[in-house]
Structures are given as structure tokens and as C-alpha cells.
Structure 1
Amino acid sequence: MSAEQSLPHHRLPPDALAELIRGEGGPAALDLLLRAERSRRLLLLRMLDDTTDLGPAWDLLSAAQQHHPTAVNDLLMYPQTGMWLATTLRRLRGKEPQDEPPLWVVLGHFAALAAAAALRAKLDFAIQVPVRHGRVPLPTLGCAMLPVSEPWATATVRSRSGQTVVAVPGCEVAVPTDPGTAGPGWHPLHHVSVGPAERRLETVLDDVDPYRTYPRPTEPRPLSEETAAHWRRTLERAWAVLLRELPETAAAMRSGLLSLTPTAARERFRPRSVSAGDAFGGIEASEPDDAAQLAATLVHEFQHTKLGGLLHLAPLLTPAPEGTGELWYAPWRDDPRPLEGLLQGIYAFAGIARFWNAHRVAPSAHSPLAHFEFALWRAQTATAIEQVHRHPRCTPLGRALLVALRDQCAQWLAEPVPKEPLALARLCADDHAARWRAHHRRPPAAAVRAAVHAWQRGASGPPASLAAEPEVVPDPSARWLDSLAVLVRYRLSATADDRRPDAAATEVTGALSGDALLAAGEATAARHAYTAHLKAEPEAAGAWAGLGRALAAENTEPTAAHLLSRHPERARAVHQALLRVTDSPPDPVRLAAWLGSPPA
């Protein structure tokens, strides 16, 4: 193919690219990403058409395109359409689980897309679509509910002269003339419009599209009207926060936040949210504690959306050499992460730090908590960047992005934060890192054996070999490493008469009694609680790390505190090895002090 015949490429001009690598990006940059995403969806659709016979659904979609191209474009750009396309192609290539739903149901979703397009184009048509556990979702419109007992079946969507029904033998559901209104057996998609007219966010609360949850599809679960109304009110308040404090981000969200999938509330201060590169513009989020938390969640996942769009245009990393499995510390995760995942987190949490920096000075903010969040996430993002900003797998664009975010973090780290939230943020950042090391770092086995022998013979310190770089070995039991930070959030948001640490500990899954005491500033009591816990459960990684933080706060055993704060994995490994050879394990503080002594 000659240069004149080559396909055009999407390109980001320097100013838009500069915005995105700084973690920003206004409406113009988002528009460029959306155009590129549209081309990508069209290519995926062509690949699917080349792979399988889409039959009458293709013809119906083509007819809808001729009559109402905007409707077809809206369906094409709907986040769940992108997720379905990518999932289906992976399924056809054997790269997705081949269990339920059956492949014919997965492929049949295209017929539901075509039916939705034809209905919006006001065409006369009839087409068979899948029934999923008694429900027939029509993307961007709603869901018909039918008395079908089989998990997977078919129904006919039929439209004549503006009258549409979804039918199975013996039953049919009429789709209202305005599909956005409820009717017998018809559950409409919740369209939401919030904010002033000139800065309005228009999106949907999607509770019915099977591909609204990421990365695995789930069956429709319609929200109650009460729950949907609660989400609308919370989104209204969150949007007001974003308009006031991050107006440029909000302006970009107006074109790039296309759907929000609500899920059930989780434990306080532990929201869950998900987005996917294949579902550009879609966010799945648990019911938030408040509007500020939802605003932060929207920023977080919108960062992933922007980075996903950028990655569809240019790589930030070169492929990993075959056979390598490098894993890194991500300060917002319990588990070690590959470089690709860490980069995603860095970009997302830079956005979180930016949000809290703006929110902490707002008149309506809960300032101590907001200051804490800013101080914590600027530090955690900087920690992650320092690990990898010179990594050899970074492309020039990847290096530029990390340098820009590193410079931004340096500016944030220079900003003043009040004393108490700053100290608590440092405590929580150090604690999370220590807990992660205690779980996932493994000192060399030979060095641990040598340390046991040295201890038993009364050597003045451990062998030098114990200081060798420990291996990263993922520990599947590592969970709730953020417990101390959650407890601190309880402390900072509590009223003066509601700060009993034992009360907060009962609310936080995974929290130890020592964690609650440490979060309350009771270092000596926390030390006693951690040592008692280790006597009962010597392998408890969190107790080893927490003991280090308690000793540091108490300032009575500096050598032991330093060792447990920096290298709790050494104490844990040597203590466990000693348990295997003696009936009287050493005192944890005494052992940590010995391990922190100069090598013998």
C-alpha cells in the first residue's frame, strides 16, 4: 500500500499530550481521545464481523445507521458496547472462560444492540434476542422482564408503527413509546442530569446491561426507585464539589463520563470502584459514604479512563522480556503489582492527590480528614513513582509522564499541611509499607538459617547475609493492609465524645486491637497489644509491622523500632524459624533489637 493509500492515524497535538501526561486534560483533549476510541470500536466491530456471521442483526444495524446515525454512534460509544466487543473477541479466541453465558448468548447481544438502534431510529423490524435469567436488556434503553424459567432463552423484539413489544410464547412486554419511562414488565435505564444548565453532567445509572461490570459481565439487577433517587442526590452533590474545586476536570467529564454502574455499599472508608480500558467512559462504583468520596471516586476512575485512551494511541512501556515477572509495591494495594498495573495506579492516585489538595481548602470540607487524605496520597504516589521513574521498559512517552507526575508530587510535598493530619499520614504510609514488606518480602532462606544459628550461639548481631535484598513472594493472605488508615479516618471524622479506639476497631475488618490503639495515639498500650497478639499468632505480619510503628511512637527501643519499621520481614522470618527449633521463642522486641544490631 502506498503512502497516499495508507489509513490516517489519530494524533494528539503537543498541548493535549502535555495536559494528559501531567494527569490533567480538558474537553479538547477528551474529544481527541473519544475520536480515537470511536475508530477503535469500529475496527473491533469489523474484526468481529470477519470472525463470525452476525446475520440479520448486521443488516438491521446498517438500516438504523442510514436512518439515525447519531443513535448508532451513541450505541457504538457506549462503554458497555466496548466491553462486549472486547470480551466477545477474546471469547472467540479462547482467551476468556468458556462457561456461562453460552457463546450464542454472548454473540446474541449484538442483536440486542441492533434492536436498540432500530428502536431509537423508529424503524419497523423484528429480531430475536437473548433472554438472560428472565430479562432482556436493550442497551442504552432498559430491560424487559419476562416469566421465563430457563436461564438462557430467546425472545422476539418486534416494532410496528411505533409500537414495540418484547415477546416469548404466551407473554409479551410493551416497551413504552418513551423507553425512559417505566411500564408493566419494563424497567427503564436511569438517565441522570445534574448541575446547572451550562455545566450539566448527563449520564446514566446502568443497572441492566450485562457488560456494565468490569472485567466480568453480570446479569441485570434493576435498582429500586429509592436507591436510584439516592444515587441521583449524591451525584448531584458530588458534581457540585467537582464544579467548584476541579472545574477543568468536570468539564472533561461532561463528555467522557458516559455511564455509572451503582453497586452495593461497602464498609465505611473502603469504597470499591472499577473501570476498564475496553469500556471507555464507564465507571462501576459502590454506594459512597458521602459526596466527597464519590467525587474522589469519579476523579480516580476518570484518570484510568484518560490513561486507557492514551494507551490505545501510544505505549508507555515496552513489552516485558519473556520469563520475567517483576512485581512492585503499590501503596494503595494489598498485593504486589506488575509494572503496567503500578503505572495505572500512579496516574489514578495523582488525580486523587490533586482532588484532595483542592478539596481541603473548600469551606464545606471536613478539613482534618481532607488534609490527611492529601498528605497520604501525595506521599504514596511519590513513593510509587520513585521505584520506577527510570525503569528501562519506559518508552520516551512513559518517561515523560513519570517525570511530569514526579515534578507535580515534589510541588505537593512542599505544600504545608497541619501538624496532626501530616503526622498521621506519615504514620499510615509507613505502616502500609511495613505491612506489605512483612507479607510479601522473603529474606534468603540460607541467611535466615544463619541468623538462627547466630542467635542460638549468642552472637552479638545477625549475619551480614540477612541484609541481602529479599525476594518478592506474593502472599495470598495479605488483606486489609489499610486498616490503620481506615481507623485514622474514623478518628479524624469522629465527634469529641466518639473517639474510643475499641469502638472503631469493631467497625474495621482486619483491624487488630493494637491498630486501634496506635490510631488513637496510645503507643504504649499498642505495643503491649501487638506483643500479646504475636504471642498468640507469631506469624501475624500486621502485628510485626504495627509493633515497629508503636515502638517508634513510644521512642523507647529505637533499634528494634528501626528494624521492624524498615525490615519487619526479617524479624518475622527468623522468629518463625526459631519456633521450629525451640519451644521458647524469643521476645519479639528483643529479637528485633538484635536483628537491628551491626552484623556479627
Structure 2
Amino acid sequence: MTVGPFRVSAADFTALARGGGGPSAVRTLRLARRSRTLLLIRSIAADPAARDAFALLCEVARVAPEAVDRVLDHPSVGAWATRTALAVRRGEAARPAELAFTAAAAAVRAGVPVDLEFPPVEVFSLPSLGVVVGPGLAYEPLPEVELDGFTLQVDLWAGGGVPDELPVASEVDVPRWRDALRAAWDLLARDHPGPAAEFAEVVTVVTPMPSSPSGTSSATLADAFGCVFLSPTPDAETLAVTLVHEAQHSKLVAVMDLFALVRPGGDAVFYAPWREDPRPAAGLLHGTYAHLGVAGFWRSRPGPAARVEYARWRSAALVTAEALLASDELTPTGVRFVRELAAVLRAWCAEPLPPAAEAAAATEAAAHRSRWQAAHGPLT
């Protein structure tokens, strides 16, 4: 298991900043995140409770490195490693012995015998494989959705690790999710091949959320790279644009692993045209980058409704990009990144649209600003 420096070419950095990047650049981001997870695990392995598990992981890596890579890429491993390494560093309660679950998953994948002592829990996950209930290593496999050329797993995080404020469905209707994801993927692959190829490179797990009374809900956890949390959506197009939105978040998470884009310690907050609450600079940058992807999706969709969505989100994202550039919250690298992003949005905002679409988008934007100002005061 080797860890090395990761370099992003100037061309790839620019392409990523402009909302794309392509599969090659996104693959670099994924490999960099795997390296980060391994570094965290190595720091955890200094604890005696994790040493046997780490030794097994190293043994598996010698004979079947692809098995270890597959497990390290599972979002729950990155989330666990981040949470545990931070707790150890801060002197807080931590469970380094849980590295046994990761090591066992890699060994099972590789066909290597497992002789480890597991933490005393009734239910645990073997990352990338499934859920174990009771003694032994017999597991219930994670449901999978086969798409063209790659596979998504459906994971409810039975082993825990999801923040309390992020609801996860208690059960999953697998046939329903298979049909929904396949329909959305077919739309993406047919009509949006660039974002589709990037999504296939970065996302490996979908976690269903409960139905949302306010519409579709989705989320990406920075530490759970590769996982998209989703509530059921009404149609393939809505799910497709949601997948693009969350893949953009995942890409930016990994970019920000490699580059400091926002100055640390800043306390400024900003208006975001897609949120009801003020956002810090890092959050605003994430929303701006995600909505660059959303605007790009609607830009190439047919129909009057798509024209309204395109008008709404190209303008909204440009407003926030300009706000970031006018602030003192970005690093020099961050300024370079957002300038490229804003250049795309300025060009899009110059594209003519039907007046009715522009008017409808402006009405929606004004209504949001009014609600926000009523709750938080004048925009600054």
C-alpha cells in the first residue's frame, strides 16, 4: 500500500474549475482521496488495538492489492478513518479496533483467511461487501444496481457513521431504486455523456433517504467520498440533475483536499440563492460549483421548463461566484479557480433565452431574495 504525491496538471485544474475535468482528471481525484484514507489508517494503526488488523491489511495488499483498493474506496471507510484519526489526535474517545472490519472485508474479497478479534457489536458492516449480524463473517450482500459499464451499491450504513442530522431510510425498496437509477443513468449517458462519465468515475454508493415533504433531498458528506445520499425523486430527469449536482460536490471535495481554495479562519457569511440560511465561504463555493453543474445540465435540456431552470441557475451561480471574488475569503489558488468558474457562467448568461423564461427565472429569484431578507436582513 503506497502513498505518493498527486499532481493535477494546469489543464486539468482549469477544466475542473470550469465544471468538467473528464474521467482522467476525476480519476486522479479519486486516487488522491484513496491515498488520504490510507494515510489516516496508517496513523490509526499506531494504536495497539489496530495493529493486527493493519498487519492483515498489509498482507492482503501484497497478494491482492485490488481487493484493498476496492475496500479503501468505499465511502464508509473514508468516513470512519477521518472520524477515528481526528478523535485519536484530539484525545477523544475513539475505536481504532474497528479497523478489523476494513481489514476483514479486504481479506474476504481476496480469499485470505481472517483471524482477527472483532469489537463486541451485534451488527457491523464489511465495507463494500455487506452487513454481518451475529458471530462469524457470513454477511448479507449490499444490493447492487448494474449500469452500463459500472455498478452502484445501495448502502444504508448499518454499521453507523452517518451524522444524526442526515436521515437515512430504515429500509430500501431495491426494485424501485434500481428502476429509478437506471432510468436516470440512461438519460445521463444518452444526453449528457460528459457528466455521466465523471459520475461513473466518482460515485460508487447511493444511500436512500426518507421521502422529503419539501421535495427531493440529497447530500454529499465530505468524509464519505463516493457516496450520494438521496430521497426518492419523481422522475428520471429530476434524479439525473440531482446526481450531477452531487457529483460536482464530490469532485470539489477532492479538489479541496489537494488545493487550499478558501482562507482558513474566515467568519464571513453570504447569501446563497438556493439556501434559506447564510453560508460561509467554503459552503458558498460548494453550492456555486454544484449549481454550475446544474446550469450546464439544464442548458442542454429541451423544453420551456428547462429554459427557466437554466436561466435561474446560471444567474444564481454567477451572483455567488462574483460575491466570492469580491470578498477576501479566497486564497490565490481559490481566486484562480473561481475566475475560471465565473468565466463559464458569464458566457452562459450572455446567451439569449426566451423573454418568458428570463422573466420566470427572475420572479423566482426575487421571491427567494425576499424570503431571505425577511429572515436575515438586507443582503450584504
Question: Taking structure 1 as the reference length, what is the TM-score of the superposition?
Answer: 0.59
Aligned partner (choices 123, 144, 155) of residue 191 of structure 1? 144
Alignment of 1:329 with 2:271, yes or no, is: yes
**AA matched with 1:273:** S
**AA matched with 2:174:** A
**1:271-310 matches, cutoff 5 A:** 271-310=216-255
Aligned to 2:200: 254
Aligned to 2:287: 345
Name the SS of the counterpart of 1:143 in structure 2: strand
Distance 2:347 2:108 in 1: 53
Aligned to 2:154: 205
Alignment of 1:263 with 2:209, yes or no, is: yes
Aligned partner (choices 21, 43, 63) of residue 67 of structure 1? 63
Aligned to 1:595: none
Larger radius of gyration: 1
Name the SS of the counterpart of 2:274 in structure 1: coil
Deviation, 1:330, is 0.9
User: How many residues in Structure 1 have an aligned counterpart in Structure 2?
Assistant: 378
Change (3 A) 1:62 1:316: same
Alignment of 1:138 with 2:126, yes or no, is: yes
Aligned to 1:231: 177
Alignment of 1:124 with 2:113, yes or no, is: yes
Change (3 A) 1:345 1:108: same
Deviation, 1:399, is 1.3
Change (3 A) 1:265 1:216: closer
Change (3 A) 1:208 1:328: closer
Distance 1:396 1:257 in 2: 29
Could you tell me whether the CA contact under 8 Å between 2:154 and 2:208 is conserved in 1?
yes
Aligned to 1:33: 29
Deviation, 1:90, is 2.3
Instruction: For structure 1, list consecutive stretches of 5 or more residues without a partner in the other structure.
Output: 1-6, 147-154, 158-165, 167-174, 176-185, 362-366, 442-469, 473-600
Deviating more after overlay: 336-345 vs 276-285: 276-285
CA deviation profile, 1:371-404 (whole Å, cap 9, x unmatched): 2221211121122122221322322221122222
CA RMSD across the alignment: 2.5
CA deviation profile, 1:286-333 (whole Å, cap 9, x unmatched): 111211111111111111111111111111122235xxx211101111
Aligned to 1:376: 312
Distance 1:219 1:427 in 2: 34
Could you tell me whether the CA contact under 8 Å between 2:208 and 2:232 is conserved in 1?
yes
Could you tell me whether the CA contact under 8 Å between 2:49 and 2:97 is conserved in 1?
no
Question: Taking structure 2 as the reference length, what is the TM-score of the superposition?
Answer: 0.91
Change (3 A) 1:342 1:253: same
Could you tell me whether the CA contact under 8 Å between 2:17 and 2:337 is conserved in 1?
yes
Could you tell me whether the CA contact under 8 Å between 1:208 and 1:222 is conserved in 2?
no
Aligned to 2:190: 244
**AA matched with 1:257:** V
Name the SS of the counterpart of 2:132 in structure 1: strand
Could you tell me whether the CA contact under 8 Å between 1:263 and 1:286 is conserved in 2?
yes
Change (3 A) 1:205 1:471: closer
Distance 2:314 2:190 in 1: 21
CA deviation profile, 1:503-538 (whole Å, cap 9, x unmatched): xxxxxxxxxxxxxxxxxxxxxxxxxxxxxxxxxxxx
Could you tell me whether the CA contact under 8 Å between 1:262 and 1:287 is conserved in 2?
yes
Structure 1 vs Structure 2: percent identity of aligned residues? 33
**1:147-166 matches, cutoff 5 A:** 155=135, 157=136, 166=137
Aligned partner (choices 43, 50, 53) of residue 47 of structure 1? 43
Instruction: For structure 2, list consecutive stretches of 5 or more residues without a partner in the other structure.
Output: none
